[in-house]
Amino acid sequence: MAEWGVTPDYIVNNWDEDLLGLMIDRLNQRKQREQEATQGRGRNLGKTMVSDTELFSQLGDAIRVEKKQDGG
């Protein structure tokens, strides 16, 4: 219910079984896609995935880390 931003009462009073079933199916599909993406099996969508080590070695000096200045 938190996934959809509604209360249990709202679902009981306003959704029929078909809508609830559809919402649960779509939620399951989304959770499956999220799980696949976190395991590196998701759709690439034209982007190349690299490890963090490879990313930082490719970026080289393009990233600069600076200490935050104390404003006080």
Count the domains in the chain: 1
What residues make up the domain containing 30? 8-62
Is 69 within a domain? Answer: no
> Are 1 and 8 within 8 A, CB to CB?
yes
**Per-residue pLDDT at 44:** 53
Is 72 within a domain? Answer: no
Place of tokens 């490719």: 58
**Per-residue pLDDT at 72:** 55
**Per-residue pLDDT at 47:** 66
Is 38 within a domain? Answer: yes
**Per-residue pLDDT at 29:** 95
pLDDT string in tens for the chain (72-residue length): 788 899 999 999 999 999 999 999 999 999 999 888 888 665 555 567 778 888 888 888 787 778 888 765
**Burial 10-28, CB ≥16 within 10 A → b, else e:** eeeeeeeeeeeeebeeeee
Is 46 within a domain? Answer: yes
**Per-residue pLDDT at 60:** 80
